Structure 1
Amino acid sequence: MNLSHFLRQTARRHGQEIGFVWGDLTLTWVELDRRVDAMAAALTAKGIAKGDRILVQSKNCHQMFESMFACFRIGAVWVPTNYRQTSDEVAYLAQASGASAMICHCDFPDHAAAVREAVPGIRFVISIGRSEIGEDYDDLVERHMGEAVSPAPVLHDDPCWFFFTSGTTGRPKAAVLTHGQMAFVITNHLCDLMPGTTHADASLVVAPLSHGAGVHQLVQVARGAKTVLLSGDRFDVNEAWALVARWRITNMFTVPTIVKMLTEHPSIDAHDHSSLRYVIYAGAPMYREDQKHALKKLGKVLVQYFGLGEVTGNITVLPPALHELDDGDDVKIGTCGYERTGMQVSIQDDQGREVRSGATGEICVCGPAVFAGYYDNPEANEKAFRNGWFRTGDLGHMDQEGFLYITGRASDMYISGGSNVYPREIEEKVLTHPAIAEVAVLGVPDKTWGEVGVAVCVLRPDAALNERELLGWMDGKVARYKLPKRVFFWEALPRSAYGKITKKNIRAELEARGYLPLDQKIEASA
């Protein structure tokens, strides 16, 4: 089935109900379907055919949302960027994907120019909003309104979406997602993440539609649940809670750092959020102290899942019933859940052999949610797959009941004096200190021990703490060899364009501030 048929099905069943909300704009499902038909007709008239790749550089808006279904409908491949990326980065994505056309928000003329210069094969650019970039998106929709387009016939393995990785260990790679794979992912999300979702539900978008939030909204369309966007591209916590109250939001997809911001902001107590049933977080494990705080504020509505873009979020799930506030004997603290329906996890050693229960190894996965491979990148594919298993690059272990625990990225682990050190364990301990809001621990070279730990901390408002006090407090709480050699206190941790705290960015910032290498003389860490 062509994925765009989900929109047509919903338009037939719930046509006059509101399907999309953005500021003062509301669109019914019928209006959305007609607009998608019009853009699909416009793309076809411009020569776009099945298999062509359409690069989309845009902040969240209804046109971006529609462009996904317009591409799917004609069998083209949707290639969204993260709008926070630079023009050079987006030009690289255009080259790497073999894009033949571009849809670009009018706020990004430099990006459109860079793509045109880097990729001579770009046939045209469509501008979201009137600009010199190219023809106006809404003018094209108006011109082709009323033209019905039948979904292009597709096979299970036909690509529909190039999902670019965040590139934390190099340049981004295009993970090929297919119509059949994504149909399974949608079904799996409805089964495991938000069971019982119907057209009476509503979903708030607080992340770019270019990645996980876009997958999440596909799921909403399949069940006729309305999508609500924040009015601007800046994350406004008060507005988010106001929208939850106004539209009786029942689910949202986010990441742990956003959950933390939402639940620690005073506006959470000013708005009614009793409609929430599923607050789904992914992208990174949530630290236990943050998890407890969110549970106190929201109740048992948290849903955690673990899954990379290459597996479209489908590896494990920890549903609301297993999110406990108290650390009882029967509570599995630190787990990211059990295997998703239809998926299988294997913890493997360096030779691809499955390790015993409780032993640490690389988390590998197989099942229908695994992507079709990286586009035009045989070397990356060879590294990513082994004996039919996709290698996530994450380290972890499984208990005897099949619950998975993530230790960290394989690239995050460091060896100090011959002993393996997993930063996440130390970070969890540091976060139990009442003065610490955020922390990242990473290994750096050391002449004596090979590698040692460095902790970068962010204090809570009005809190006071120094390096000596924190290290003294940690002494006895973790083994001596796990104690960081240095602690730095910053106002904020650097984040990637995807909103994630990445060790690569922190290491670069440490170097930029002159703190690395550690054997050079540096001033106090405050």
Structure 2
Amino acid sequence: MTTACEAPRGGVAPVSKRVMNLAHFMRRAARRQRDETGLVWGERTWTWSELDRRIDAMAAALAARGVTKGDRVLVQAKNCNQLFESMFVCFRLGAVWVPTNFRQTPGEVAYLGRASGATVMICHGDFPDHAAAVRAALPNLRAVVSIGASDLGADYDALVAAYDGRAVAPAPVDHDDPCWFFFTSGTTGRPKAAVLTHGQMAFVATNHLCDLMPGTTDQDASLVVAPLSHGAGIHQLAQVAAGAKTVLLTSDRLDTDEVWALVARWRITNMFTVPTIVKMLTEHPSVDLHDHSSLRYVIYAGAPMYREDQKHALQKLGKVLVQYFGLGEVTGNITVLPPALHEPADGPGVKVGTCGFERTGMQVQIQDEQGREAAPGQTGEICVCGPAVFAGYYNDAEANQRSFREGWFLTGDLGHVDEEGFLFITGRASDMYISGGSNVYPRETEEKVLQHPAVAEIAILGVPDQTWGEVGVAVCVLKSGAALNERDLLSWLESKVSRYKLPKRVFIWDELPKSGYGKVTKKAIRTELEARGCLPVD
């Protein structure tokens, strides 16, 4: 053991792990590709130098409102240039970007504001109720900045104009300094802030370019078809690192014809999405009406893709599909299945059902409940270690204790690897299901349903669905003498949870099947649903 005056064993004194501030990606692109287009949204375009100047101006405006290194900035917005910029505004100040899923309810967003300890909010003008809920939950909120004309607070673009020309030097940061709170429910229903850091995300951007989109340069273009607040935001950070332009859809609603028209117009080379959207895009007639020969990488994640859907997409687009498996806590960096391994036909050597092999710099291990490594082919929990693993959950020691074991992050997913190291996901340790690429945790919705005065018991489970991958099915038991039907319960629930968390069907039973210990078992409920002919839900 060394004293404060001694060098540690090996003769190397501890030093600060200074790393690049991620906002330098934008600064570098502005210097090297000054007058080239960096962002496209509808008919508007911004050069890299314009983007960098706007980011400087907004950073100066937030600094004038007291935002400093470590402060959390809550952002509630649909995809737009201001949302894109806000990531780098926060990074440049050393502040923490806290984006929401814009489809969340005001109450859900207010909870994220409290949980993160946000001091400032950037809010799109379409969400006055969200701003009001956050203000009520955070009485010490310093400011609300409004995107678009509204009375929510100071206008974003007006502030950019007022502070134009004020250069802001990126805040000095260490490897473990937080830059992004990526909200995820982990293995429980209540959202938790996964802390992403500057050093970690520099590795992630490099890894994305290495494993998902090798050869990506400033000659490439990326189309955004998912909210920038989550996985698409990580993908776009990698685009900025490479100097590749980003193209946004004109609205938050997916217009398939617009997608393919933009691919042709801007010679799109890559996009990130989920299997449900790949299916929609490749089954729509417009896929045959526009030139998509520029595409090299169509990256999908968030859920497995049905094999028939995979074959159809390959038939339409060629071998451009890239699959990756990952969680918010590992920023998507667990496995990759590159285009060369996406075969359009089954046959010898084709690994149907795999989500790929380990990402560069990452290690996957299948473990039993005691943490022992499982043999190839043996099912266990998928565990991972490496530089892409997050720093832990913010202010949640219990969740951190539960999620790590001897340095391994426990994903909560079950699977096995084959002799070559290809990973196959075989189930989930939790009841979480994935609908349209979004993780849904039944416990959260169950808690809401139980607030209904007519409901005594509730169980929600995920079942396969051809459109969304999985959807929720709820089984309820009513209180004695109460009356309630499916339509009325869903209508009551709509304002209390996000739409993607709503069950697709609700069944009213006299009782829920229970184990000998009196515990409601979802396996027994699934069996009973099948016996009653309630599955599939269509």
TM-score range relative to shorter protein: 0.7 to 0.9
Q: Tell me, yes or no, if the aligned pair for 2:382 and 2:414 is still in contact at 8 Å.
A: yes
Question: For 1:60-71, what aligned pairs fall within 5 Å after superposition?
Answer: 60-71=79-90
CA contact (8 A) 1:15 1:29 kept: yes
- Structure 1 residues 289 and 353, CA, compared in 2 at 3 Å: closer, same or farther? same
In the alignment, the residues of structure 2 paired with residue 454 and residue 33 of structure 1 have an alpha-carbon distance, to the nearest angstrom, of: 44
**Cα deviation, residue 120, structure 1:** 1.3
Q: How far apart, in 1, do the equivalents of 2:402 and 2:199 lie?
A: 24
Q: Which structure 2 residues correspond to residues 291-310 of structure 1 after superposition, within 5 A?
A: 291-310=310-329
Q: CA deviation at 1:328?
A: 1.0
Matched, 1:125 2:173: no
Q: How does 1:19-38 map to 2 (within 5 A)?
A: 19-38=38-57
Provide the rounded CA distance (Å) in 1 between the counterparts of 2:378 and 2:497.
31
2:29 is the alignment partner of 1:10: yes
**Counterpart secondary structure, 1:336:** coil
| Aligned match of 1:384 | 403
Contact 2:322 2:338 in 1 (8 A): yes
Deviations 1:243-269 (A, max 9, x none): 000000000000111111111111101
* Contact 1:166/1:498, CA 8 A, preserved across alignment: no
Partner of 2:174: helix, strand, or coil? coil
Matching residue of 1:446:
none
CA RMSD, 1 decimal:
3.0
Overall identity of the aligned pairs, in % = 72
Q: CA 1:166–1:270 in 2, change beyond 3 Å: closer, same or farther?
A: farther
Contact 1:82 1:498 in 2 (8 A): no
Residue identity matched to 2:388 = A
Match of 1:465 in 2: none
Which one of the candidate residues 154, 165, 171 is aligned to 1:146?
165
Q: Is the 8 A contact 1:515 1:522 kept in 2?
A: no
CA distance in 1, matches of 2:358, 2:497: 25
Provide the C-alpha distance between the structure 1 equivalents of 2:306 and 2:402, rounded to a whole number of angstroms: 30
Contact 1:514 1:522 in 2 (8 A): no
Q: 1:54-93 residue pairs with structure 2 within 5 A?
A: 54-93=73-112
Shift of 1:326: 1.2
Asked if the contact 2:187–2:412 (Cα under 8 Å) also holds between the matched residues in 1, the reply is no
Question: For residue 210 of structure 1, what is the amino acid of its counterpart?
Answer: S
Alpha-carbon distance, 1:459 to partner: 8.6
Q: CA 1:131–1:335 in 2, change beyond 3 Å: closer, same or farther?
A: same
Alignment partner of 1:335 out of 342, 354, 357: 354
- In structure 1, give the amino acid aligned to 2:299: I
- State how far apart, in whole Å, the 2-side matches of 1:373 and 1:123 are: 27
2:428 counterpart of 1:409: yes
Q: Tell me, yes or no, if structure 1 residue 210 matches structure 2 residue 229.
A: yes
CA distance in 1, matches of 2:175, 2:128: 36
1:268 aligns with 2:287: yes
When the two structures are aligned, how many residues end up with a matched partner?
A: 457
Q: Deviations over 1:305-364 (max 9, x none)?
A: 001000001000000000001111111111111000000000000111111111000000
Q: Which residue of 2 aligns with 1:400?
A: 419
* Counterpart AA for 1:267: S
1:258 paired to 2:277:
yes
Using the TM superposition, give the Cα deviation of residue 511 of structure 1 relative to its aligned residue in structure 2, in angstroms.
3.5
Q: Give the conservation status (yes or no) of the 8 Å contact 1:357–1:397.
A: yes
Instruction: Provide the secondary structure at the position in 2 that maps to 1:335.
Output: coil
Q: Offset of 1:169 from its aligned partner?
A: 3.6
Q: Structure 1 pair 243/194, CA: closer, same or farther in 2 (3 Å)?
A: same
Normalising by structure 1, report the TM-score: 0.82
What SS class does the counterpart of residue 162 from structure 1 fall into? strand
The amino acid across from 1:33 in the alignment is D
SS at match of 2:372: coil
Check whether the contact 2:271–2:298 (CA below 8 A) recurs between aligned residues. Answer: yes
Q: Does 1:241 align with 2:256?
A: no
Asked if 2 retains the 8 angstrom alpha-carbon contact of 1:260 and 1:290, the reply is yes
Instruction: Identify if the C-alpha distance between structure 1 residues 50 and 353 changes in structure 2 by more than 3 Å, giving closer, same or farther.
Output: same
From 149, 172, 177, give the equivalent of 1:158.
177
In 2 relative to 1, CA 285–498 (structure 1 residues): closer, same or farther, beyond 3 Å?
farther
Letter in 1 for 2:333: N
User: CA offset at residue 143 of structure 1?
Assistant: 0.4
AA of the residue aligned to 1:298: L
CA contact (8 A) 2:103 2:498 kept: no
- 2:214 paired residue number: 195
Alignment match, 2:473:
none
In 2, Cα distance between equivalents of 1:398 and 1:498 = 36
Residue-by-residue CA offset, 1:52-108 (whole Å, 9 max, x unaligned): 000000000000110110000010000000000000000000000000010000000
Unpaired runs of 5+ residues, structure 1, are 414-422, 425-439, 443-450, 461-493
The within-5 A match list for 1:504-523 is: 505-506=502-503, 509-511=504-506, 517=512
159-168 or 123-132, which deviates more: 159-168
- Distance in 1, Cα, partners of 2:165 & 2:318: 47
Structure 1 pair 313/458, CA: closer, same or farther in 2 (3 Å)?
Answer: closer
Paired letter, 1:309: G
Alignment of 1:479-494 (within 5 A): none
Could you state the TM-score of these two structures normalised by the residue count of structure 2?
Answer: 0.80
Q: Could you give the per-residue CA deviations for residues 225-245 of structure 1, whole angstroms, max 9, x where no partner exists? A: 100000011111111011000
Deviations 1:119-173, CA, capped at 9 Å, x for gaps: 1121110000121100000000000000011100000000000000156741111
Amino acid at match of 1:300: K
Aligned partner letter, 2:290: H
What is the distance in 1 between the residues matched to 2:301 and 2:368? 25
Structure 2 residue ranges without an equivalent (≥5):
1-19, 435-439, 443-458, 469-492, 513-524
Counterpart Cα distance in 1 of 2:354 and 2:498 = 23
Q: Distance in 1 between matches of 2:73 and 2:462?
A: 43
Q: CA 1:500–1:106 in 2, change beyond 3 Å: closer, same or farther?
A: closer
